[in-house]
Structure 1
């Protein structure tokens, strides 16, 4: 009887120890390696939210092609309108020349040229100047004291076989005898010498008049500085450098 009771107790004790080994592990508290209040450190590979998103070592994440395209478009997009020429020594995408075109024979021809050149110009301005132009060399006999005396001298010229003369009857030099207006000063000089040799006190002077000149000042990129001639059809119009404006 005693042996049977001892056997039952041993079996119950084994069952209790087994139950404790199996069910009692959750209650075991593992002491923390850190001080109280300090977060526990984890390796990156231990974090499920990062390990899947982190690319493998040695590979780089692809760049966003849409972002790259956006930069290229912004860099190559031209500024609205025409950019003004920068001062000398300034930084600019293109360099410019400042030219004076002219003189144009009339204001209308200048306006026509300006319209044809407009697509190539950064800026332009028109201006009018007064200039002295030679009308030729005038050979004449000084004014006489009266018209009757001037007519008498004219008769002497005819008797000496000189032609192409007339007596000035009005203006600021009345009773002067004109003996010709010559473009070539050499021809005027020959005419005067022949008259002097025949005894007439002929004189020679250059006749000038004030006329308007029309100019077009332009600011043009270097690439187009030599193409203005293709658009301006006035052969007498030239160009030279001028101050920028």
Structure 2
């Protein structure tokens, strides 16, 4: 007797249509799951192919930055631990070139360095600060009337409202300027100040060249009477 047929009647029982309906539903669900799986796989494949180059580029940049940072730190540590010989000072670039030639003849290859660490004394001639800006301008007007050159009004700092009459590296020149202003009826004074001094030095690492022989240093002093050799950290 076929399944789902009532005995003695030949008619299909109630379980037959229900089983067929459930089978169709499962087939539909299965097809939906397959289609959904294909869609997700395709989407992830496209998304991965689009994002991968950017992610790889970001990784490459991070690795490169790390390598450069390590190289910089190693170079910095190396410079801090290295010592150089240095000879100078030289007032002009030409003097430094001539001295570099002397060193080269002695088997030393040096690099020229410009330094502003040194200081030189100077004398600032000026009319003392006036009580007000208006009073200071009267000094300016009088200097202009007398056709005095090289002056300016100090507008800031401790010497505000003073009138600068020049800065001189030699006391004789400053004294001469003071006498000129006194002859015109002014009462100038002067201040001692320190100015940066530009000078050249020649440096070479200690591991690449020897210390200066006495004979070479004597030749250097013919170019710069103050010539000397010192040791300093390589820059």
Report the TM-score range of the alignment, normalised by the length of the smaller protein. Answer: 0.3 to 0.5
- TM value normalised by structure 1: 0.39
Normalising by structure 2, we get a TM-score of 0.40
Higher helix share: 2
Task: Tell which structure's C-alpha radius of gyration is larger.
Answer: 1
